[in-house]
């Protein structure tokens, strides 16, 4: 079922998760990286404004959301590990925990967004908040798509029709959400 010995990860064309996903990941982190560098360049024009705006963001929310995503990534890695051992029930269980991490992230993000809108810090408030809403908003879309993929993975695990390539690709996409957040969190919440 899992064909573990047939995939040579050391081959440049077969990274864990598949080459197409890895091309996507490189493009995604490159795009978010460039956007964050542009944010830094803009912040040099009015450092005080960006510093005050950054301080409006709740670091505790950002750090808690980081822990939610990292823990979710841990459960995803555990799920794939169990899947490789053909332990489908445990793999499905860890996948549900991974999805729970994503849902907790979205819940706290939703609360943070609600708070910012209530206080009037919307997209057009200043350029910092334009970056904040666009960058975190695109990331939230990635998490939503990831949860959608997780639901398909869970379905195929429950039906015992899961294919190794699909499971690893889904997991790699989910981890990509972690990677993007690990770039956004310090740049938006911590260093300006």
CA dihedral 26→29→35→40, nearest 10 degrees, is: -120
Instruction: Please tell me whether residue 120 adopts helix, strand or coil conformation.
Output: coil
Q: Which is nearer to other proteins, 30 or 145 (CB)?
A: 30
Candidates 72-80, 116-124, 132-140, 152-160; binding stretch for other proteins (CB under 8 A): 72-80
Residue numbers 75-94 binding other proteins by CB under 8 A: 76-78, 81
DSSP assigned state of 85 = T
Residue numbers 5-64 binding other proteins by CB under 8 A: 9-12, 15-17, 22, 26, 29-30, 33, 36-37, 40-41, 43-44, 51, 59-60, 62-63
Give buried/exposed letters for 126-161 (b at 16+ CB in 10 A, else e): ebbbebbbebbeebbebbeebbebbeebbebbeeee
Report the 10 Å Cβ neighbour count for 2: 14
Q: Which is nearer to other proteins, 16 or 123 (CB)?
A: 16
What is the rounded CA–CA span in Å between residue 119 and residue 122? Answer: 8
> What is the total count of residues that contact other proteins (CB under 8 A)?
46
Candidates 96, 67, 83; CA nearest to 181 is: 67
Q: Does 136 bind other proteins (CB under 8 A)?
A: no
Q: Which residues bind other proteins (CB under 8 A)?
A: 9-12, 15-17, 22, 26, 29-30, 33, 36-37, 40-41, 43-44, 51, 59-60, 62-63, 66-67, 70-71, 73-74, 76-78, 81, 171-172, 175, 178-179, 182-183, 185-187, 189-191
């Amino acid at each position: 079922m899992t064909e573990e010995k047939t995939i040579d990860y050391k081959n440049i064309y077969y990274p864990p998760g598949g080459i197409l996903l890895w091309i996507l990941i490189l493009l995604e982190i490159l795009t978010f990286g460039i956007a964050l560098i542009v944010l830094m360049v803009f912040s040099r024009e009015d450092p005080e404004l960006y510093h005050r705006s950054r301080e409006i963001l709740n670091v505790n929310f950002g750090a808690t959301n980081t822990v939610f995503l990292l823990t979710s990534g841990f459960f995803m890695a555990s799920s794939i590990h169990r899947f490789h051992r053909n332990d489908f029930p445990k793999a499905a269980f860890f996948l549900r925990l991974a999805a729970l991490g994503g849902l907790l992230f979205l819940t706290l993000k939703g609360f943070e967004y609600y708070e910012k809108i209530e206080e009037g810090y919307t997209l057009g408030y200043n350029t910092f908040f334009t970056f904040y809403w666009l960058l975190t908003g695109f990331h939230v879309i990635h998490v939503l798509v990831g949860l959608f993929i997780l639901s398909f993975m869970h379905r195929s695990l429950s039906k015992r029709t899961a294919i190794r390539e699909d499971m690893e690709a889904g997991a790699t996409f989910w981890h990509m959400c972690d990677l993007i957040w690990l770039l956004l969190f310090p740049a938006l919440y911590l260093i300006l």
